[in-house]
């Protein structure tokens, strides 16, 4: 018999949260004693073991201690209400709400327009790209994973991608269709080169930080973005008939402090932990 | 979760059996059971502490932490409360179980 386990988990999690709050509200001193002693006992019993993540809470909760699963669930639930069901341009209100959401849940500043630059789409279909060459003679077999994805016969739009991490987590965006691309080519080419972005799959709430390292896909493919094998795998996005949509925003990270790869916790608050 | 002094008053088998018939993987099921245990735990403690005079709270919690499974904790509590705590816990647990069972049943995917 099938069950919607995510839905059930959310319901049970909410009840757990409510029951804990009830105890905390009715007996604050006793609750403090209960939890502080439990933590002390846990520390004494297993000093080298990581403490368990505190139960996840719904977005309305006041707690900051949430696991990556809960962040994904929160993002997924909120995107469901924010995004249009079909591919269409987002309104300024929707765009602003996404910026707020990404800041609230991931602790990053992500925007649809940065330094006066914006893509034609921030919400669209993503297709699977191949690996990009990192150096002359690079082959798919020399990459850490997803060898079957192959490697592009030519270079990326910005040449070799010498940084392996950037090659792993890259996206292709349609810079070639920007209205001012030809006019401002020298400036825009440099501006977009390895520009940091966040890509979010609204169907599962998974997010990845990547860089722009290629141009495409062509408009006739019906897709607006391309993702490296690692990006597509992490986001659980497929190509072809099963293609799905993503949100892609610029990440405002002038100090280059945000690491590339899966984004599984709120960067401002740090990894989930029990305090 | 470690065993608790009140475990025998809370019959959860019906809940775990209901989870068993669904296609949950082991990790999902284990997480749900942990959450369910916590729900019962919070409610049970809320009930106990509501009946136990506040001056005994810290002593009771210290005893509980020392030996959470010790059924003598119930003896200790019975001495200090004016209600039949075992009946109260059982009744409350039945109510919570009913609600949780409904949640599980309502989460059956429509196919």
Q: Mutate which of A1, A2, A3 to test chain B, going by most B C-beta atoms within 10 A?
A: A3
User: Tell me, what's the ipTM?
Assistant: 0.93
Please give the model's pTM, rounded to 2 decimal places: 0.56
Contacts of B28 in chain A (CB under 8 A): 5, 9
Q: Which residue ranges of chain A lie beneath pLDDT 70?
A: 1-2, 36-66, 271-275
Q: Given an 8 Å threshold on Cβ–Cβ distance, is A9 in contact with B28?
A: yes
- A residues 18-37 near B, CB within 8 Å? 19-20, 22-23, 26-27, 29-30, 33-34, 37
Class in CATH terms, A89-258: mainly beta
Residue of A nearest to B25 (CA): A5
Cβ-based contacts of B108 with chain A (< 8 Å): 1-4
The answer to whether B45 contacts A30, with C-beta atoms less than 8 Å apart, is yes
Domains of chain B: which residue ranges? 7-106
The domain locations on chain A are: 1-66, 89-258
State the Cα torsion B87-B89-B90-B96 to the nearest 10°: 150
| Residue B110 banded pLDDT, cuts 50, 70, 90 | low
Secondary structure (DSSP) of chain A: --B-HHHHHHHHHHHHHHHHHHHHHH-HHHHHHHHHHHHHHHHHH-TTSPPPPPPP--TTSS-----HHHHHHHHHHHHHHHS-SSS-PPPHHHHHHHHHHHHHHH---EESEETTEE-S-SEEEEEE--B--SSTT--GGGSSS-GGG-B-SS-BTTB----HHHHHTEEEE-GGG-TTTTTTHHHHHHHHTT-EEEEE-TTT--EEEEEEEEE---GGGT-SEEE-HHHHHHHT-B-GGGBEEEEEEEE--TT--SPSEE--S-TTT-S----
- Residue of chain B minimizing CA distance to A16: B39
pLDDT tens digit string along B13-69? Answer: 888 888 888 778 887 888 888 889 989 999 999 999 999 999 999 999 999 998 999
């Amino acid at each position: 018999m099938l069950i919607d386990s995510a839905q059930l988990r959310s319901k049970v999690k909410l009840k757990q949260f409510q029951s804990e709050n009830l105890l905390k509200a009715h007996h604050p001193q006793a609750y403090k004693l209960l939890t502080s002693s439990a933590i002390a006992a846990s520390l004494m019993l297993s000093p080298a073991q990581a403490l368990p993540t505190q139960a996840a809470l719904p977005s309305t909760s006041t707690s900051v201690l949430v696991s990556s699963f809960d962040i994904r669930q929160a993002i997924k639930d909120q995107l469901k209400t924010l995004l249009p069901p079909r591919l269409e341009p987002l309104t300024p209100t929707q765009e602003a709400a996404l910026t707020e959401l990404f800041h609230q849940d991931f602790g990053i500043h992500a925007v649809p327009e940065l330094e006066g630059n914006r893509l034609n789409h921030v919400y669209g279909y993503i297709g699977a790209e191949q690996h990009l060459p990192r150096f002359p003679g690079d082959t798919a077999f020399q990459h850490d994973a997803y060898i079957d994805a192959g490697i592009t016969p030519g270079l990326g739009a910005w040449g070799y991608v010498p940084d392996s991490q950037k090659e792993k987590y890259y996206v292709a965006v349609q810079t070639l269709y920007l209205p001012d691309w030809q006019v401002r080519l020298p400036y825009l080419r440099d501006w977009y080169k390895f520009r940091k972005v966040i890509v979010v799959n609204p169907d599962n709430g998974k997010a990845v930080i990547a860089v722009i390292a290629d141009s495409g896909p062509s408009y006739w493919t019906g897709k607006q973005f391309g993702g490296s094998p690692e990006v597509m795998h992490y986001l659980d996005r497929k190509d072809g008939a099963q293609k799905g949509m993503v949100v892609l925003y610029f990440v405002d990270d002038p100090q280059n402090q945000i690491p590339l790869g899966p984004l599984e916790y709120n960067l401002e608050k740090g990894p989930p932990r029990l305090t | 979760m470690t065993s608790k002094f009140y475990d025998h008053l809370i019959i959860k088998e019906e809940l775990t059996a209901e989870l068993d018939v669904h296609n949950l993987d082991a990790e999902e099921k284990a997480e749900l059971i942990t959450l369910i245990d916590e729900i019962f735990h919070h409610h049970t403690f809320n009930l106990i502490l509501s009946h136990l005079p506040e001056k005994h709270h810290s002593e009771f919690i210290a005893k509980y932490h020392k030996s959470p499974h010790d059924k003598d904790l119930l003896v200790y509590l019975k001495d200090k409360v004016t209600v039949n705590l075992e009946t109260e816990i059982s009744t409350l647990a039945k109510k919570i179980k009913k609600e949780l069972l409904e949640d599980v049943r309502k989460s059956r995917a429509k196919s």
